[in-house]
Amino acid sequence: MSTPKFSLKAYERLKSKKQIGYLFANGKSHFTHPFKVFYLLEQNNTPELWPVKFTVSIPKKKIKLAVKRNLLKRRTREAYRLNKLGLDEKINKSNYKISLMFVYLEKEVKNYDVLAKSILKHINEIIKRVDRLA
């Protein structure tokens, strides 16, 4: 029995400004404290290397210090990395691809446990929505 890989490779990241703009224009969103997640679920017509793309945004307007923004980004990526397996399996079994963007909306830095619970709630909600479509 193989152990699951808890990695977050470069090809799993959403980097393109064009794709991020398309996500904001055409995607849906929902809020669970302290994140608002934007997601775009589309039919996967062309086979991609990875059908789940992910990114994090910590607004400078909310968190002024770059050190704190970087800390929040690291914590968020780690929470996503450890909790993404269910979403990856669901999307790989379906004929969809998804783009995700987590936007932090608090003015103070939250600890890892709060971030991980929020990420897990968002992932479970998205899995439910994929189930409804499939």
3-state helix/strand/coil string of 27-95: CEEEEECCEEEEEEEEECCCCCCCCEEEEEECCCCCCCCHHHHHHHHHHHHHHHHHHCHHHHHHHHHCC
Nearest Cα to Cα of residue 119 among 52, 50, 5, 30: 30
Fold for the domain defined by 14-133: Ribosomal Protein S5; domain 2 (3.30.230)
Nearest Cα to Cα of residue 27 among 129, 128, 124, 107: 129
Q: What is the pLDDT of residue 1?
A: 45
Segment-wise mean pLDDT, segments of 10 residues, the chain, 134 residues? 69 91 94 94 77 94 96 96 91 88 96 96 93 80
End-to-end Cα spacing for the chain: 28
Torsion angle (degrees, nearest 10) of CA 116, 51, 69, 64: -120
Q: What is the pLDDT of residue 54?
A: 93
Contact indicator for 78, 37 with CB cutoff of 8 Å: no
The identity of residue 72, as a single letter, is: L
Q: What is the 8-class DSSP label of residue 12?
A: G
